[in-house]
Structure 1
Amino acid sequence: MTVTQQARTPRRRAPRNTLNPDRILDAAVVLLDRDGAEAFTMRALAAQLGVGTMAVYSHFRSKEEISDAVAQRLLSEVELPAMGEAESTADAREQLREVCRSVFRLFADHPSALQLLTTRPMRGDEAIAVIDRMLGLLRAAGLDRVDAARAHVALMQYTVGSALWNVRRDRALCEDGLRDRVRARLADLPADRYPALTELVPELAIAQDAGMAQYELGLDGLLTGLIGPGPRSAR
């Protein structure tokens, strides 16, 4: 649809007196996940809601204020164990694993959270609560102050990097026929030049599409290196 066509298309307005902060944030999440932070403007959000731009400003002072509120709303979905629940290193490790999985799942479900939290970090109580709980669990697992801080950074780097890789790969593969073209390219590689890759093309494709299972494989390896083997490894 061209800009001219969009201008001629009548906007379906929301019923009067129905706009509220929760509805604005719901629409902001949809808009950010669908179009990305680069396309997120107050005008686009108002169009998503079917209202005039000034109606949005009556609830939020700026796009930045909405972005912060969206980030905190999404972070509130991360499941945090209660303080004092970890009674052993194994308990702390397992709870830390679940927090990391919850953060990864949030980023996978809401690419907007990944963009907002990596460009506007440490805003609001929810972000601070996640960091505090992870550090507490690392200390409960027996790590000293320096190791706990460095382990937290390593876990977040891995989680954010994995989520970003998955989001970008999924978006790239949405291009028509790209997945088939990639597979055809790999199938045509000369085995004498790339022996390891050509041998493992099917297994590599499975691993790249594994999502959470692939993330957990790396997470468990990282936790084992940082803290020690968990109950699954001990069996």
Structure 2
Amino acid sequence: MTVTPPARSPRRRVPRNTLNPDRILDAAVALLDRHGPEAFTMRALAQELGVGTMAVYSHFKGKDEIIDAVNERLLGEIELPSGTGPPRGQLIELCVGVYRLFSEHPSALQLLTSRPLRGDEPIAVIDRMLCLLITAGLDPSAAARAQVALMQYTVGAALWVVRRNRAECEEAEAGLREKIRSRLAALPPDSYPSLVGLAPELVAAQQSGQAQYEAGLSALLDGLIRN
């Protein structure tokens, strides 16, 4: 008896002559954000685009070149402050831009911490932060420490959001909030008076995303500069 193999689902192909580096990088960003650099392959990228693998090689030499191009593109999305206004306000604008990039594009955060820096974009961000801190009145040593502290806080806050979003879908997150509330409500008030008393505020703070980040950033800058 002849066994007929299962029919393959047709691959969605892009129209002829429409594949270009920008389209490839768009697809690469989407793929990296969903699955991370570890799962990124040229075959997976070609499937995302609906083309053969060799069509991608006609624009890029290989996976590493694409990942480096993605890294440069994403970091290039961070807009440097215009240079007007108090240094504190410009620092907030710059740090929020970095936070948004990393929280909206998990791949940018992973690539930044796993690959050598390329291009001028990350260097320009660091240089502007240092310049603003010096302008705010910090001495060189204090400015260097403050810049590292700001980046550590920003990267950590973005990583928190990325991991939470990956671990929980919207419905599961709503269930998680209720579990946290129930757990806090079950604690003995005599033993944990502050935790029980502030339970609603704690749950809200953990779920407030950028608003929580900006509140922490403002408090951190209050301790670093006075301008």
- TM range, smaller chain: 0.7 to 0.9
Q: Secondary structure of 1:12's partner?
A: coil
1:233 paired residue number? none
8 A Cα contact 1:173 1:179, kept in partner: no
Q: Which moved more, 1:33-42 or 1:207-216?
A: 33-42
2:76 paired residue number? 76
Partner Cα distance (1:191, 1:53) in 2: 61
| Match for residue 139 of structure 1 among 128, 134, 140 | 134
| Match for residue 165 of structure 2 among 170, 185, 189 | 170
8 A Cα contact 2:180 2:203, kept in partner: no
8 A Cα contact 1:37 1:115, kept in partner: yes
1:202 paired residue number? 200
**Percent of aligned pairs sharing the same letter:** 69
2:184 paired residue number? 186
Partner Cα distance (2:86, 2:11) in 1: 54
Q: TM-score, normalised by structure 1?
A: 0.85
Partner Cα distance (1:202, 1:182) in 2: 10
Q: CA deviation at 1:121?
A: 4.8
Question: Aligned residues, how many?
Answer: 220
Partner Cα distance (2:207, 2:180) in 1: 13
Q: Secondary structure of 2:86's partner?
A: helix
1:43 paired residue number? 43
Partner Cα distance (1:191, 1:39) in 2: 47
Query: Mind listing any 5+ residue stretches in structure 1 that lack a counterpart?
Result: 231-235
1:95 paired residue number? 90
Q: CA deviation at 1:16?
A: 1.7
Q: TM-score, normalised by structure 2?
A: 0.88
* One-letter code aligned to 2:49: L
Q: Secondary structure of 1:77's partner?
A: coil
8 A Cα contact 2:31 2:40, kept in partner: yes
* One-letter code aligned to 2:198: L
Q: CA deviation at 1:80?
A: 0.5
Q: Secondary structure of 1:159's partner?
A: helix
Q: Secondary structure of 1:148's partner?
A: helix
Q: CA deviation at 1:219?
A: 0.7
* One-letter code aligned to 1:112: S
2:109 paired residue number? 114
* Residue correspondence of structure 1 range 11-22 to structure 2 within 5 A: 11-22=11-22
8 A Cα contact 2:177 2:203, kept in partner: no
